[in-house]
Amino acid sequence: MGLTSTAINPIYVAIDRPDLKGALELAGVLKGHVGGLKLGLEFVTANGPAGVREMAAVGLPVFLDLKFHDIPNTVHAAVKAACELGVAIINVHAAGGPAMLAAARDAAAASRTPPKVIAVTVLTSLNGDDLAATGVAASPDEHAVRLALLAKSNGLDGVVCSAHELKAIRTRCGPDFMTIVPGIRPANAADSDQKRIMTPEAAMAAGADLLVIGRPITAAADPVEAARAIGVTLKANCS
Ligand SMILES: O=c1ccn([C@@H]2O[C@H](COP(=O)(O)O)[C@@H](O)[C@H]2O)c(=O)[nH]1
């Protein structure tokens, strides 16, 4: 399924759990309150390609967040396989470099129904000190913009970034470059392991195309009510 429902609702709920039955039930009850499903390492490692296909059959667009980061030949083959799963969006790490990004782009372009290919810039769980610990002297903002430009120049469709870099990335990469934003925390929600966070309404006002929201919805006592409340706040602030 393509991305059409995101025009109505930008929320992609991160279904980070290993049990397929529970994931399907959660996706089913959230269907009217979110624009898409985001499946990542935890779900896919436990349930494999068959699990992804079952989740896609729920009828919402799926963002397959596996963040491929390997040599170009391996990433080309992984993207080719991912494109057979009926997902709308896949991603790779921009830090994999130009040849790896081009390999991902080419593999997707050759598929029957190409998904959007998105590059992860700087994980939202990292701050400047964490980046420095990996040998990157630039700030998260500078580094994310640099990686976004690398992704754009290699033909990718957009980036995953924190809301704090949205304006700079929009300015440098243009209005059609897709931005997908995790690290979303409604007021009073726990940061948990996220370090570059923003509220849903502030992230949309800063120019996000899609919001990835996990625990603030899935760990809530009433996930449907949590998703509904975020949607109401977005409508009130962003229309
Ligand atoms: O930089 C990134 C890239 C991906 N993620 C993923 O988004 C969700 C966020 O979940 P929360 O529970 O809302 O924190 C999670 O699946 C991550 O793998 C990210 O957080 N940051």
Q: What is the pLDDT of residue 3?
A: 59
Reported as a single tens digit per residue, the pLDDT across 128-144 is: 999 999 999 999 999 99
Q: With cut-offs at 50, 70 and 90, classify the pLDDT of residue 5.
A: very low
Q: What is the pLDDT averaged over residues 115-140?
A: 98
Q: What is the pLDDT of residue 7?
A: 56
C-alpha 221 to ligand 1 mean position (Å): 20
Residue whose CA is at the smallest distance from ligand 1 atom 21: 124
Which residues are known to be catalytic? 65, 67, 70
DSSP 128-184: HHHHHHTT--S-HHHHHHHHHHHHHHTT--EEE--GGGHHHHHHHH-TTSEEEE--B
3-state secondary structure 47-114: HHHHHHHHHHCCCCCEEEEEEECCCHHHHHHHHHHHCCCCCCEEEEEHHHCHHHHHHHHHHHHCCCCC
Q: What is the pLDDT averaged over residues 106-126?
A: 98
**CA-CA distance, 199 to 34, in Å (whole number)?**
16
Higher pLDDT, 6 or 156: 156
Inter-residue contact 159 to 172 (CB < 8 Å): no
Quick one: DSSP state of residue 38?
E
Query: In total, how many domains does the chain have?
Result: 1
Q: Which residues span the domain enclosing 46? A: 4-238
C-alpha 114 to ligand 1 mean position (Å): 23
Q: What is the pLDDT of residue 53?
A: 98
Average pLDDT of the chain?
Answer: 96
Q: With cut-offs at 50, 70 and 90, classify the pLDDT of residue 99.
A: very high
Q: What is the pLDDT of residue 237?
A: 87
Counting from 1 in the atom list of ligand 1, the atom nearest the Cα of 38 is 16
Counting from 1 in the atom list of ligand 1, the atom nearest the Cα of 124 is 1
Residue whose CA is at the smallest distance from ligand 1 atom 19: 182
**CA-CA distance, 52 to 68, in Å (whole number)?**
16
**Burial category of 24 from C-beta neighbours within 10 Å (exposed 0-12, middle 13-18, buried 19 and up):** middle
ipTM of the complex: 0.99
Q: What is the pLDDT of residue 29?
A: 98
**What is the CATH classification number for the domain harbouring 65?**
3.20.20.70
Reported as a single tens digit per residue, the pLDDT across 179-192 is: 999 999 999 999 99
The 10 Å Cβ neighbour count of residue 43 is: 24
Beta-bridge partners for 89 = 63, 116
Q: Which residues line ligand 1 (CB under 6 A)?
A: 14, 16, 40, 65, 120, 123-124, 160, 182-183, 192, 194, 212-216
Instruction: Judge whether residue 126 has pLDDT over 80.
Output: yes
Q: With cut-offs at 50, 70 and 90, classify the pLDDT of residue 2.
A: low
